[in-house]
Chain A
């Protein structure tokens, strides 16, 4: 069974640009969530999507957005990039079991974003 696939793996952008990252969840998983990992802040929750709807949101500015398609694939976008957005962006997928327990999330390999 294929794992969570993220593209691109590495990218370099200039301040002020925007970036779009893509994620394909594990087959059968309907929930996709995104996390940002930096040395200073650790792993932080960005947002979670289920059935093309954003169900949970973390404390990030509106420059960070996402969407989910009908096949559960997801994209996240960061507009007007800042130097501080340099990070590892991780996508995670899970079977939906909200409120019931069992929401084990499985991470992709991540997209390394460097903003210069």
Chain B
């Protein structure tokens, strides 16, 4: 079982809609959770991180963490074509600075 699981997609949403990306993790000791965005041919760039149960908002992005159910999600409101990319979920197990990444979900936002 992989430490972090994501649906590979592609997830297609129309422009202006809410995109919902999900991620599950296997180790209950996981402490810190991150979302990265990766455009084709580019390196991952940090979107946001979350440590505590609940929601965390940053602009059009909201990260949600549910440790009891071991899932993390990312909501993108008012999706734009420029949001089309692969979204990577990552976990820093025990905060050891050793990140486990999911395989990524490809998001397509259609104009």
Contact = CB atoms under 8 A, between A and B. Distances in A.
A103 B92 contact: yes
A94 B43 contact: no
Nearest to B8: A42
How many chain A residues sit at the interface, stated as a range, is 20 to 34
B87 to A, nearest CB: 12
Interface string B27-43: 00001101010000011
Nearest to A33: B97
Report, as a range, how many residues of chain B touch the other chain. 20 to 34
Interface stretch (A12-20, A78-86, A107-115): A107-115
Contacts of B36: 107
Contact of B101 (A43, A88, A108, A109): A43
A90 interface: yes
Nearest to A6: B43
B101 A100 contact: no
Interface in B93-107: 94-104
A34 to B, nearest CB: 11
Contact of B43 (A90, A98, A101): A90
Interface of A: 31, 33, 35, 42-45, 48, 50, 55-56, 58, 88, 90, 94, 96-110
Interface of B: 31-32, 34, 36, 42-46, 49, 51, 88, 90, 92, 94-104
